[in-house]
Amino acid sequence: MASSAGVPVAVPHPQKQLSCNTSEAGVVKMTQTLGTEWIERGVCVCVCVNCISPGIVDTPLIHSESLRPLVQRWLSDIPAGRLAQVTDLQAAVVFLASDASDYMTGHNLVIEGGQSLW
């Protein structure tokens, strides 16, 4: 699991989060690298290396009064007009855990309502 904060085309704002962005980008690059290095060893016959980068997920943590202005700003930056729900990620997790994705490796599946398209 990575985050849309690690997607190269987007720098989340207005919050400052250098360490988060850097570590998430590292997870994405590690996924790509292991996806190519481990396939040579036959790992991808049964377990491929992929990651999911969700956008901002609607959880109880972000419903505090102090974060309300930040959440409103995030919403204005998401073409889908809403935060991700946990259910938005479930099908992707099932897909990546199933045989349906066994020819897919080193991929970062971005699920963020179009936020990184701006």
Dihedral sign computed on CA atoms, order 105, 31, 85, 94: positive
Mean pLDDT of 86-105: 91
- If pLDDT is split at 50, 70 and 90, which confidence band does 95 have? very high
pLDDT value of position 93 = 94
CB atoms within 10 A of CB 6: 23
Length of the chain: 118
Radius of gyration of the chain (CA): 16
The full DSSP string for 43-60 is GGGT----EEEE--B--G
47-52 average pLDDT score: 84
pLDDT score of 10 more than 80: no
Who has greater pLDDT, 32 or 81?
Answer: 81
pLDDT above 60: residue 6 = no
Q: How many CB atoms lie within 10 A of CB 23?
A: 14
pLDDT exceeds cutoff 70 at 59: yes
For range 35-49, the mean pLDDT: 70
Pick among 3.20.20.70, 3.40.50.720, 3.40.228.10, 3.40.50.300: CATH of 4-113: 3.40.50.720
- Segment 45-73 mean pLDDT: 86
Say if pTM beats, i.e. exceeds, 0.85: no
Mean of pLDDT values over 17-40: 79
Cα 32–Cα 56–Cα 16 angle in degrees, nearest 5: 85
Neighbours of 67 (CB within 10 A): 13
Q: What is the mean pLDDT of residues 25-32?
A: 82
